[in-house]
Amino acid sequence: MQERTSQAAGDWIVSHFSGAGEVQLTTALIESLPGIFYVLDADANMLDFNSRFSQLTGYSPSEIRSRHALEFTDSSYKDVMARAIEKAITTGEASLQAPIRTKSGELIPFLLTGRTVKIDSTIYIVGMGIDLTKEMDAVRALEEAEHRYLGIFQNSAEGLYLFTRDGVLIDINPTACRFHRGGREDLIDRGIRDLLIPEANRPVELIARAVRMGRKLSGKGSGIRVDGSRFEGDISGVPMQMAGHGFYLVSVRDISARVEAERQMERLRYVVDNTTDIIAIADESGKHLFMNRAGREFIGASLDLDPAELKIPEFHSAEVARFIFQEAIPAAREKGIWKGRTSVRRPDGREVPCSQIIISHKEHNPEVFSTIMRDISDRERIVEELQAAREWMGITLNSISEGVISADRSGEIEYMNPAAQKLTGWSGGGVQKLAPLSSLTDPLESEEAVKRARKQSGISVQDVLRLMDEETREWLDLEQLEPSGEGARRQEAILLRKDDSEVIIEITSSKMEDHRGQWIGTTYIFRNITQHREIARILAHQANHDPLTELINRNRFKVFLDDAIQSARNRKGIHAFAYVDLDQFKVVNDTSGHSAGDQLLRQLSQIMRKLMPAGDVLARLGGDEFGILLHDSNLEDTMNCLNGIKDAVQEFRFVWEDKIFTVGCSIGVVFIDEFAENETQILRDADTACYAAKELGRQRIHIFHPDDEALTRRRAEMEWVNQVQESLEAGNFELYCQPIADLQGGTGHQCEILVRMKSGNNLVAPGMFVPAVERFGLMSRLDRHIVGRFFEILKGYSEGNPDSLQDFNFFTINLSGATLGDEDFREFLLQAIRESNIEPGKLCFEITETAAVANMASAMKFISAVKSLGAHFALDDFGSGLSSFAYLKTLPVDILKIDGIFVRDICDDPVDLAMIRSIRELGQALNIKVIGEYVETRDVMEKLAEMGVEYGQGYYISRPMPFLEYLQSGDEAIRSG
């Protein structure tokens, strides 16, 4: 409003500033304004002003005129005012809040406005100022009031809450935050029901309703903490108005401590009234002021009886009552408390022994005495039983085989059992003065008797238990055996007996404490473990050594190998590890038996041991394999040592009965440097190098190099073998099959069973891993897995529907040559066929010509046994060998599978065509069906059908697919022709 008034006045002046009368009128108007008025030139020099400006600043008109406007403000505002003047000249108007400095130096706050006026090409700034002193004083007073309110609110010892009338918390002081165990941010905006509730016997809505209706509130209640727990409080509240709005102020005083004290007093009353001890208060005359329930029941007094009626002589014998009045109470009055043994008479006249405490309360006038009495008849009975038990303990200690010695705090022996005397050699006259068992075990024996027993001994436990460290043979101080803290300490040591002979003992020491928990001595329990130690040494030797050769075994060797790897990594030398595998050892075992093989290993071990450098390691790793670890060995030293061993083994002649054998060895070497991985990898690399040595002709040394082609091939094979073994364990093989088409229009289905190995998310074809599996002798195990899985799938597929396999003519399953010679597999297969739900005539096992002729006798035996159950055999890859036709007379097969090299090009190669025609005619003559493989085109399939070949198999007919999927799809899996 002020800014608009000034602007309007300026407009009026500009519009009407023309005649003298108008000037007078304008001047009168300006003089009547409540604020100051001024006119500046373009350089901000004062040209004109009203009298109000002079009155407020205290300057005379002559002192004001022509002075720069910035001289009338505080130095801290000069830059701000200068920018405002510049803005007015640039934009035509400006305003700011700034102080005007009076002549006396007082700063008066003003709201200043200015507008430019142009008269005859001259620019003027016409401005007004409104005094803000009253407004600023009002704001300051409001801030001070608010500060006082906040001070009271924030520092109040009571919890203060400010709620809206809807019961929403909008402010809370620190005291209330502490009550609720939360921060202000945890509590603001919560509803009153979440913070405060009335006491249990008042309506839950009481507080919330008072807030909502604006009524005063007073009473007890509970506060709900942030963690859900509660505190007790006195709660009061009043409605209030602020800025035209209704609020509700609640005050809470935490009374949790008082409530808890009342509860504790109640619990104490409950404990006193329900304890089994007698608790009473009486004056010095023996008249009772209080007796608890247990006391009244013990003496047979009614619970309603006035305690003043209960007199001490009435429930004590005359002697005990006299003792209490003449000795116990005076002692309590003198020392504040008396403890001792008295007795109480029961209603039946029995005197019951009690432990009693009498406490004087001199602060009470007249003086009173409180007493606590406890029935100790059971405890005294237990003491008697304990004495009897300790007598039995003495008998036990005299009978056990462990030595037991007890010594007091000074180390003098109080007790030695016979076993301890025998083990230490301190028997006869040497222990005649030792204290009796009762000095150790009888708590009722007087302290003087115990001291006498200790004086009679005079023998220090240090003299009897002379101990040495087993390794250093340094003397051990018994203080080293003292248990620290709770429990016992156990140690093994050499005991030097009285005659200086030695035994190895296991000794345990434990503290003895009295009933106050004070250390009174130490007990040593020990036993002779000399024989046990020898047994342990033998067992440790057996655990680390090969029983046949007495060389260290594989497990112990791995420890040395790990140490060597760590040493190399720390750049403390390069070491060599050699893997030694005997050549022709199997010949000795097979021709002369395992006894001969064992003797050969013993003799060769001695030969190699003699050639080993001092400090280096020779171990038997298993079978006919040895490991050699050469420390800090360069290439030349390594080769010299290993060549010596290799030559010595080769030159050795082993004589067994009437035979003379020569053996050799192949050696793989790995150098262990700072880049060595781990013992598993070192062993694998050395084994790979040894294998390469055998592949290169045996009786040689091969050094491992990561880029060696033979080693790379060997490593790849090993990786496949490891993956196959893991997959066999995990069942990571999936059966596939390739459907076989009947080319002569027959009905039903047939297929060849295939296998894929799962590797991550991929499936690996057998061509990738079978060569390695064959080389390492795992084919029989793989075949067993495939056959077993085949029968499992068929069983699951046909379960509940026995006719589901009727439409399938036959399934062909490949068997390796190694499997044909495996008698265990043969029995497994026969049993599987007998137990399966498939007709044996639907089973056809594929074998190769090479596998069959490699061990013709085993193959014939295998084929005969399986065919006896009704199964069939197929000769796979027929035609690839020069002697294929000759073996057809010998091998009782039912199907010929023509090698795909002849089938693929029959439409273009007359030689292949003639070969297949010959095979087909031969099959007809021998009543053998024929399957053509590698059928990859329609023309090839039609040509085979035209020639009379019964079946076709290949990608044109169907690609391999999951076996179970094929069982479920049947003909749909085969390409229609």
Instruction: Please determine whether the domains at 138-259 and 724-973 fall in the same fold group of CATH.
Output: no
Please name the fold of domain 400-534. Answer: Beta-Lactamase (3.30.450)
**Burial of 509 (C-beta count, 10 Å sphere; 0-12/13-18/19+):** buried
What per-residue string of b and e applies to 767-797 under the rule 16 or more CB within 10 Å gives b?
A: eebbebbeeeebbbbbbbbbbebbbebbeeb
- The answer to whether the CB of 415 falls within 8 A of the CB of 439 is yes
What gap in Å lies between CA 708 and CA 685, rounded to an integer? 11
140-143, long-range: CB < 8 A, 24+ apart? none
Q: What per-residue confidence (pLDDT) applies to 147?
A: 73
923: left (phi > 0), else alpha (psi -120 to 50), else beta? alpha
Tell me the residue length of the chain.
Answer: 977
Helices 554-569 & 530-544 angle (0-180, nearest 10):
70
Q: Look at the domain 724-973 and name its fold.
A: TIM Barrel (3.20.20)
**Adjacent-strand bridge partners of 654:** 661
Mean of pLDDT values over 745-755: 93
Residue 830 has pLDDT above 90, yes or no: yes
**Pair 718, 732: CB distance under 8 Å:** no
Task: Give the homologous superfamily in CATH for domain 2-131.
Answer: PAS domain (3.30.450.20)
> pTM for the whole thing?
0.38
CA dihedral 435, 436, 438, 440 (to 10 degrees): 40
Residue 67 burial (CB count, 10 A) = 14
CATH, domain 545-706, list 3.20.20.370, 3.40.50.2000, 3.40.50.11030, 3.30.70.270: 3.30.70.270
What is the reported pLDDT for 446? 41
The pLDDT of residue 203 is above 90: no
Do residues 843 and 751 touch, judged by C-beta distance below 8 A? no
Q: Evaluate if residue 484 carries a pLDDT over 60.
A: no
Which is higher by pLDDT, 952 or 154?
Answer: 952
Enter the CATH code of domain 275-375: 3.30.450.20
Higher pLDDT, 455 or 273: 273
pLDDT at position 740, please?
A: 95
Among 15-24, 155-164, 287-296, the range scoring the smallest mean pLDDT is: 15-24
Q: Omega of the bond prior to 436 within 30 degrees of 0, cis?
A: no
pLDDT in tens, 710-737: 666 666 777 888 888 888 888 889 999 9
The answer, yes or no, to whether residue 880 has pLDDT greater than 80, is no
Mean pLDDT of 763-787: 87
Please say if the pLDDT value at position 642 is more than 90: yes
| Separation between Cα atoms, residue 39 and residue 485, nearest integer Å | 96
> Is 703 within 8 Å of 756 (Cβ atoms)?
no
pLDDT at 455: 47
Q: Express the helix, strand and coil content of the chain in percent, nearest 5 each.
A: 45, 30, 25
> Based on the number of CB atoms within 10 Å of its own CB, is 203 exposed (0-12), middle (13-18) or buried (19 or more)?
exposed
What confidence tens digit (pLDDT) does each residue in 570-623 have?
887 899 999 999 988 888 887 888 899 999 999 999 999 999 999 999 999 988
Q: Give the contacts of 555 (CB within 8 A, at least 6 positions apart).
A: 543, 544
Torsion angle (degrees, nearest 10) of CA 588, 590, 596, 601: 60
Which of 250, 231, 147 is closest to 182 using CA atoms?
Answer: 231
Burial class of residue 256, CB neighbours in 10 A (0-12, 13-18, 19+) = middle
**Residue 631: predicted pLDDT:** 94
pLDDT number for residue 66? 83
The answer to whether residue 882 scores a pLDDT higher than 50 is: no
Q: How confident is the model at residue 976 (pLDDT cuts 50, 70, 90)?
A: very low
Residues 689, 703 contacting (CB under 8 angstroms): yes
pLDDT of residue 977: 36
Q: Where are the domains of the chain?
A: 2-131, 138-259, 275-375, 400-534, 545-706, 724-973
For residue 327, what is the DSSP state?
A: I
**pLDDT computed for residue 141 by the predictor:** 72
Counting residues of the chain whose pLDDT is more than 90, the rounded percentage is 38
Is CATH 3.30.450.20 the right assignment for the domain spanning 138-259?
yes
Give the C-alpha separation, 105 to 373, whole Å. 89
The percent of residues above 70 in pLDDT, for the chain, comes to: 90
Angstrom distance (rounded) from CA 163 to CA 153:
14
